[in-house]
Amino acid sequence: MESAMPIPEPDHGPDPHDSLLMRLLASVIIAVMLSIAQTILYAMTVVQFILMLTRRDRPNVELAWAGKRLGDWLAKSTRYLT
């Protein structure tokens, strides 16, 4: 006589409620980070303006590059939240 193998329960994947809670948590963390990033962006703007005043209208390339990267992150974060 062959022993009957138990029929496995179907896997329904992760609980949608859990993934929604994780998305909410990620959204809250990103929203806080966005607020901090905006403050950093304002500070970078002031520093860049002061540097341009002292360097005869020549922007600081590294600061401009960092500002572009920060702007890219802000855009990606906003798309995630919406």
> Token digits for 52?
């341009």
The structural domains of the chain, with segments of one domain joined by +, span 29-81
Per-residue pLDDT tens digits for 47-75: 999 999 998 888 999 999 999 999 999 99
Predicted pLDDT of residue 2: 63
| 14 burial via Cβ count (<10 Å: 0-12, 13-18, 19+) | exposed
Q: On the CB side of 30, how many CA atoms lie within 13 Å of its CA?
A: 16
For the whole model, what pTM was predicted? 0.69
pLDDT tens figures, 1-60: 566 777 777 666 667 677 889 999 999 999 999 999 999 999 999 999 999 999 888 899
